Amino acid sequence: MRVLNFSVNGVPKTVHLEEGRVMLSDVLRDHLGLTGTKVGCGVGQCGACTVIMDKKAVTSCTVPAEKAEGKSVFTIEGLADGGKLNPIQEAFVEAGAVQCGFCTPGLVMRLFALFSENPEADDETIEEELNKHLCRCTGYEAILEAARLSRSKMIARAKPN
């Protein structure tokens, strides 16, 4: 039995891992019950499982659990502030960029990592990041609009009143 110590959404966690191959997405969903992180392809192609690890967006289905040792991981469950949605989540709703919602947590986490590092990321940079994700329902334009709206909202939030 292996032991993993890391922090998830600001809370220290200790997880006992079974032998064999265990990925970060398995730990989040199966051990910690954080099922907001979705698993689609399982091989790093669709972006559904994206979370933030030490401030970088990662596809958690490709991160062996032991790589998270001592790291700080944020998932979609850590974004909302109490009952209040994060500005990026609000933007997806307002832009009509959510249908089945399967791809949404990963997209939101990817954009949160991007705008946290670069609040004024240009459209080309945003499109590069969105290209790491697949959505079978909503369509690229609505997601791009949500991403632009997210940028405006994150900038507005960062400004002092």
Give 57's strand partners: 52
Parallel/antiparallel/unpaired status of strands 72-74 and 2-8: parallel
Please list, in sequence order, all residues whose beta carbon lies within 8 angstroms of the beta carbon of residue 126, skipping any fewer than 6 positions away. Answer: 111, 114, 144, 147, 148, 151
> Is 145 a residue that touches ligand FES (CB under 6 A)?
no
Give whichever of 41 and 85 is closer to ligand FES, judged by the CB atom.
41
> Is 41 a residue that touches ligand FES (CB under 6 A)?
yes
Give whichever of 48 and 76 is closer to ligand FES, judged by the CB atom.
48
> Is 59 a residue that touches ligand FES (CB under 6 A)?
yes
Among residues 35, 40, 67, 90, the one that binds ligand FES under rule CB under 6 A: 40
Give whichever of 8 and 109 is closer to ligand FES, judged by the CB atom.
109
Computed on alpha carbons and rounded to an integer, the radius of gyration of the chain in Å comes to 16
Among residues 7, 35, 99, 116, the one that binds ligand FES under rule CB under 6 A: 99
Q: Quick one: CA dihedral 88, 58, 23, 69, positive or negative?
A: negative
How far apart CA 55 and CA 114 sit, in angstroms, is 9
Among residues 75, 86, 89, 138, the one that binds ligand FES under rule CB under 6 A: 138
> Is 46 a residue that touches ligand FES (CB under 6 A)?
yes
How far apart CA 112 and CA 56 sit, in angstroms, is 10
> Is 42 a residue that touches ligand FES (CB under 6 A)?
yes
Phi, psi of 64 (to 5 degrees): -60, 140
Interface contacts to ligand FES, rule CB under 6 A: 39-42, 44-49, 59, 61, 98-103, 135-138
